[in-house]
Amino acid sequence: MSRPLRSRGAKSPDPVRRMVFHHLLAATAEEMGESLMRAAFSPNIRERRDFSCALFDASGEMIAQAAHLPVHLGSAPLSLKAVMQDLVLQPGDLALVNDPYRGGTHLPDLTVVAGVFAPGESTPRFYCLNRAHHADIGGAYPGSMAPAEDIHGEGLRIPPLLLVRQGKIDSAVLALFLANTRVPSERHADLLAQWSACRVGVARMEDLIAEYGANQLSARSLELIDWTEERTRQMLRELPKGVWQVEDTLELAAGGEAVLRLEWSHQRNRCRFDFSASDPAVDDGINTVHAVVLSAVHYCLRLLLPDGTPTNGGIARCVEVLTRPGSVLDASYPSPVAAGNVETSQRLVDLVLAALRCALPDLLPAASAGTMSNLTLGASDGTFAYYETLAGGAGGGPAGPGAHAVHTHMTNTRNTPVEVFERAVPLRVLSTTVRRESGGAGIARGGDGILRRLVALTRVKLGWSAQRQGSGPPGACGGQPGEPGGAEVRRGGQGPAQPLPGQVALWLNPGDELCVRTPGGGGHGRSVAKKKR
């Protein structure tokens, strides 16, 4: 479960030097992200920044990451592991993978990996990795996020393979990829942007090797991981010991619920998160994979660490995360998983924080929106495909009220500017406003969600996937739940509104209006009304 820290008697790391290398490596990951954002074509990557970049050592442990998406970064090590098992990277190679059952998350998230080689060495000393959500990866519906019965209906599944060989792109692999996705010119550009970002990362790491030497850079990377591990273990030692059980539910497209169960066991020298008792996998895209569960646990533990702690593989050394193969939290082929990465990951955060709140009732906030409110839009002829997630309310907490209209927890993306949206797709934004009073009441009120109204200008295929549509995010310490979310279509902009289920795909005709309401966050603390004099 972990590797021992530096042996007794070893010289302690220089804290100044350690911090310098922390920033050198983190800045490299950030520069990769800037390159990817500037080179990409799709609004989802260029504007919303739905991507993540990280660096790994020769063993596959994460040594640094940019401040990107938690759901990507916590699961990325398993994608790298799959690449290392199947491929032997050479200088100039670029591996590609998105298989959810091989360390991926869901099919639209394409992961690319490049090796960094020290002079005279034939195996990578480091790895550069980035993951980006493509607006389409094929499948039954534009956007590849609408409900499907199995993984094949969700899009193209890619095992670890070489997209680039010694600096030259494999035209056959690229042609196969583009033939199975919508808007191939945009997919092509975004994929090349990912390659470009890895090349930037490799160049910067080679500069660091030239300046400091490969051995010193490896040693300093290990020091950073050890430091994070030490801080994580110290944090865990200060937490109360015990065993706590919590559960939560996910709303199914066909009605009913899937139950998620967690037993958090925190004993001496052991911290275990056991999700094995969760329900079996369902015929619904809310299934997720083990990699996403790891992401949620590591993210929640990272919240408790001191400011300035490097985010790397040191956290993973300190905990054990158990899931049951074939369950809704450890799906196996051919279970659909499109919504699991975006929706179930948010519920997992709610679940883990609920368990931690049992031991830390006065420290953690109430639940945030608990959904990414996923919207996909596309044309039947493949001329456009669009994807975005919508902001909601953050949970109130001991530090104060929750933020309004913000992307929370496992998503860290931005909103698409109205001007960009209307240029990308044939719809008009009628309004996007804060959904007032949708946050739960409490001493610290939950943040408000948003209200978004769109009108179709041509025939458009709509995909909608969201949770917290039946009941809102729960409050904490006596606070009230936030308002649940919802979506409805008004045909021709007139007449009665047609409520939409939490997962649906349907056609919008010209003049049809879509109204989306995202949940508010839960309130924290029991508010007491003041008596009137």
Mean pLDDT of all residues belonging to the chain: 94
pLDDT bin (cut points 50, 70, 90) of residue 161 is: very high
pLDDT bin (cut points 50, 70, 90) of residue 529 is: very low
Amino acid 375: pLDDT: 97
Helix (H, G, I), strand (E, B) or coil at 26: helix
| Cross-strand pairs, 64 | 55
What are the C-alpha distances in Å from 133 to residues 69, 388, 407?
A: 11, 10, 16
Q: What is the tens place of the pLDDT at every residue in 165-214?
A: 999 999 999 999 999 999 999 999 999 999 999 999 999 999 999 999 99
| CB atoms closer than 10 angstroms to residue 290 | 22
Percent above pLDDT 90 for the chain:
90
pLDDT bin (cut points 50, 70, 90) of residue 370 is: very high
Judge whether residue 9 has pLDDT over 50: no
320, containing H or E segment: strand 320-322
- Give 3-state DSSP helix, strand, coil % of the chain, rounded to 5: 30, 25, 45
- Give the residue with greater pLDDT, 382 vs 276: 276
- Give the residue with greater pLDDT, 450 vs 530: 450
- Give the residue with greater pLDDT, 253 vs 475: 475
Amino acid 528: pLDDT: 54
Amino acid 380: pLDDT: 83
Q: What is the tens place of the pLDDT at every residue in 312-337?
A: 999 999 999 999 999 999 999 999 99
Kindly give the pairing relationship between strand 460-465 and strand 486-490.
unpaired
Q: What is the tens place of the pLDDT at every residue in 51-98?
A: 999 999 999 999 999 887 888 878 899 999 999 999 999 999 999 999
CA neighbours closer than 13 Å in the CB half-sphere of residue 515: 14
Q: What is the tens place of the pLDDT at every residue in 480-524?
A: 999 999 999 999 999 899 999 999 999 999 999 999 999 999 999
Amino acid 482: pLDDT: 98
Q: What is the tens place of the pLDDT at every residue in 129-159?
A: 999 999 999 999 999 999 999 999 999 999 9
pLDDT bin (cut points 50, 70, 90) of residue 6 is: very low
Amino acid 8: pLDDT: 39
Amino acid type, 68: H
Q: What is the tens place of the pLDDT at every residue in 255-276?
A: 999 999 999 999 877 899 999 9
| Cross-strand pairs, 451 | 433, 517
Helices 184-212 and 214-237, packing angle to 10 deg: 100
| CB atoms closer than 10 angstroms to residue 487 | 24
Judge whether residue 307 has pLDDT over 60: yes
**Cα 48 to Cα 390: distance, rounded to the nearest angstrom:** 10
Amino acid 361: pLDDT: 83
Amino acid 4: pLDDT: 41
**Cα 512 to Cα 189: distance, rounded to the nearest angstrom:** 32
Amino acid type, 193: A
| Mean pLDDT to the nearest integer, 408-437 | 95
Kindly report the CA angle at 97 between 96 and 102, in degrees rounded to 5?
Answer: 150
What are the C-alpha distances in Å from 506 to residues 212, 322, 378, 482?
A: 57, 37, 11, 28
Amino acid 73: pLDDT: 75
What are the C-alpha distances in Å from 40 to residues 44, 163, 186, 389, 425?
A: 9, 18, 8, 18, 17
Amino acid 11: pLDDT: 67
**Cα 154 to Cα 467: distance, rounded to the nearest angstrom:** 19
pLDDT bin (cut points 50, 70, 90) of residue 42 is: very high
- Give the residue with greater pLDDT, 462 vs 532: 462
64 close to 224: Cβ distance less than 8 angstroms:
yes
**Cα 305 to Cα 381: distance, rounded to the nearest angstrom:** 49
Nearest to 41 by CA among 158, 130, 135, 180: 135
Amino acid 309: pLDDT: 93
Percent above pLDDT 70 for the chain:
97
Amino acid 72: pLDDT: 80
**Cα 66 to Cα 311: distance, rounded to the nearest angstrom:** 9
| CB atoms closer than 10 angstroms to residue 362 | 11
Residue 79 is encoded by which pair of tokens? Answer: 């994608």
